[in-house]
Amino acid sequence: MIKPTKTVIITGANSGLGYECAKRIARTSPDYHIVIAGRSAERIERAAQSLAGETGVNRFTPVQLNLASLDSVRKFAEQWPQLGLPPLHGLICNAGVQYSGHIEQSEDGYEATFAVNYLGHFLLTNSLVEYMARNARIIVLSSITHDDQAKTPLPKPVLKSAEALANPFPQAGESIAEFAGRAYSTSKLCILMFAYELERRLSASGREDIAVNAFDPGGMLTGMTREWKPAARWMMKALWPLLRLAPNASTPRNSAKVLAEMAVSERYRGISGKFYSMIGSYRQGAREKQTSAVSYDKRQAQELWEGSERLIEARK
């Protein structure tokens, strides 16, 4: 039996895309140990046991991580050296939430979509960089909804200061559903801009060996729909056999194959600062694509970064 020499962390790996990605890495890359990071201790433990049973290997470690709590993110990073795992070669920022009928706040009092999808991953990544081995890889999960020129079911993103995004108010005449949809699309723009800015900062600091890329897995039927209203969840499940044929749709298994390859395969070695999408191509794999104009704006990315640091500092 090959002893693992590398570790990859997958946030939100207890279900859906993250779970399928962990399974794929375990089956194809015996040199990797996989950390199942998630909010519920019971769920991540159950997922680790289930993955071990499905793959026939015991290379999974569940570690509790609540991205809606900055203290939880700090605790995760602080305990990392004590876990005794192989060197950290990969971080997949996969966890995410999407609300539809209500406004949710994080434990720190910030809008929860922004806090979980972006700010928690911002802190987690920056806290773990010092532990990353040479040629490590960071992958963030974004979405076509980040692009204000794309036609999607969600409201277009509106980029504001980090402080404004953490403490937003619905626009005049905007419904709660529209507000929640905009919060999601904007969070996906923020995480994408973070990836690009992180890649630039790593290069400037002498850690250009760490690759940073973004991935759009396409529309999928995953656990994220648990935050939707019951009627919306029922309709999605009922219509999914037809919806999955649409060009923007994929499946957790198909998208996980690409995500796992981005994290561990030689095919993506040395590639950084790119965006790959399953949109329109999931049957053939992912395609590298250009992102929205604002996502490449270095000035706004720097302002978002600095504002995010202030938000984190304010909750110490």
Question: Residue 60 carries which side chain, given as an amino acid letter?
Answer: F
Q: Is residue 72 domain-resident?
A: yes
| Per-residue pLDDT, 242 | 43
Q: What is the mean pLDDT of residues 40-51?
A: 98
Clarify whether 196 is annotated catalytic: no
Task: Write down the catalytic residue from 99, 184, 268, 276.
Answer: 184
- The winner for highest mean pLDDT among 92-101, 197-206, 239-248 is 197-206
Q: State how many domains the chain has.
A: 1
Q: What is the mean pLDDT of residues 60-84?
A: 98
Q: What percent of the chain has pLDDT over 70?
A: 88
Contacts of 115 (CB under 8 A, 6+ apart): 67, 68, 106, 108, 166
pLDDT tens by residue, 120-135: 999 999 999 999 999 9
Is the pLDDT at 197 greater than 90? The verdict is yes
Residue closest to 145 by CA, chosen among 299, 292, 298 = 292
| Per-residue pLDDT, 244 | 46
Mean pLDDT value across the chain: 90
Contacts of 268 (CB under 8 A, 6+ apart): 137, 211, 213, 261, 262
| Per-residue pLDDT, 253 | 86
| Per-residue pLDDT, 249 | 57
> In this structure, is the dihedral angle defined by the CA atoms of residues 84, 86, 87 and 93, taken in order, positive or negative?
negative
Q: Is residue 10 domain-resident?
A: yes
> What CATH code is carried by the domain that includes residue 158?
3.40.50.720
How far is it, in rounded angstroms, from Cα 217 to Cα 313? 32
Is the pLDDT at 316 greater than 50? The verdict is yes
* pLDDT bucket at 169, cuts 50 / 70 / 90: confident
* pLDDT bucket at 219, cuts 50 / 70 / 90: low
Q: Is residue 132 domain-resident?
A: yes
Contacts of 102 (CB under 8 A, 6+ apart): 176, 180
Q: Is residue 49 domain-resident?
A: yes
pLDDT tens by residue, 220-246: 444 454 554 554 444 444 443 444 444
* pLDDT bucket at 254, cuts 50 / 70 / 90: confident
How far is it, in rounded angstroms, from Cα 278 to Cα 306? 31
Q: Is residue 211 domain-resident?
A: yes
Q: Is residue 121 domain-resident?
A: yes
Q: Is residue 1 domain-resident?
A: no
Q: What is the pTM of this model?
A: 0.91
Q: What angle do CA 214, 217, 220 make, to 5 degrees?
A: 155
How far is it, in rounded angstroms, from Cα 145 to Cα 140? 15
102: containing domain: 6-313
Q: What percent of the chain has pLDDT over 90?
A: 79
Is the pLDDT at 29 greater than 80? The verdict is yes
Q: Is residue 245 domain-resident?
A: yes
Q: What is the mean pLDDT of residues 68-90?
A: 98
Q: What angle do CA 16, 22, 28 make, to 5 degrees?
A: 130
Bigger pLDDT: 24 or 278?
Answer: 24
Exposed, middle or buried: residue 308 (CB in 10 Å: 0-12, 13-18, 19+)? buried
